[in-house]
Amino acid sequence: MRDDSPQARATDDDGRDPTARLHDLIMQLVRATGMLQPEHTAEGRPISLSEVFALHELDGPETLSQQSLADRLHLEKSTVSRLVAGMVEKELVARERDPGNRRHYQLRLTEHGRRAHVEVAAAFHEHHEKLLHGLSDEERDGLTVGLLGLIRTLGGAPHP
């Protein structure tokens, strides 16, 4: 008699445990979606995935501190400091002293940064539409449920 338990279904295809299988699937997903390749703005300048996420977090009505950006990106403060320095050099972000606390910087997108975010977000949206087009409604629903569960177990709160 066939074992249809979740554990057995997870190991039916290759005999490995679900964790190893999930690891391989995530690695395949990252490679297949091109996440390892830099995106390019309309000017043809490369932009890293970290910069894309920072642009997205900074594209709002309020400014953010470097610490707030680090918290949102789940990165170390020193990593965000280097990230922001590079983005300032590329004229994507303006970094200004916080008038309420001169020890802190407030970050905001420049017009160039806002345009870059719009371009990259549109490219991501188009890419994701192509990816999802090949899935059935049931597969899309399952993917959504699975990703929300994965984000929850990683300790993150899904963004609206």
Q: Between these two residues, 104 and 109, which has the higher pLDDT value?
A: 109
pLDDT at 46 over 50: yes
CATH number at residue 116: 1.10.10.10
Cα–Cα distance between 139 and 54 in angstroms, integer?
Answer: 30
Q: In this structure, is residue 22 part of a structural domain? A: no
Residue 103 domain flag? yes
Domain assignment present for residue 27? The answer is no
Buried b / exposed e across 132-150, counting CB within 10 Å, b at 16+? eeeeeeeeeeeeeeeeeee
pLDDT at res. 104: 84
CB distance 56 to 64 below 8 Å: no
Predicted local distance difference test score (pLDDT) of residue 116:
92
What is the extent of the structural domain holding 113?
Answer: 35-152
Q: Is residue 16 part of a domain?
A: no
What does residue 2 show for φ and ψ, rounded to 5 degrees? -80, 135
Q: Where is pLDDT greater, at 68 or 9?
A: 68
Counting the structural domains of the chain, the total is 1
Please indicate, yes or no, if residue 110 is contained in any of the structural domains.
yes
Evaluate if residue 13 carries a pLDDT over 80. Answer: no
Asked if the structure places residue 116 within a domain, the reply is: yes
> Is 111 contained in some domain?
yes
Side chain identity at residue 156, one-letter code: G
What pLDDT is attached to residue 14?
63
Q: Quick check: is 19 in a domain?
A: no
Task: Specify the pLDDT at position 154.
Answer: 82
pLDDT tens-place string over residues 75-85: 999 999 999 99
Residue 64 pLDDT exceeds 90: yes
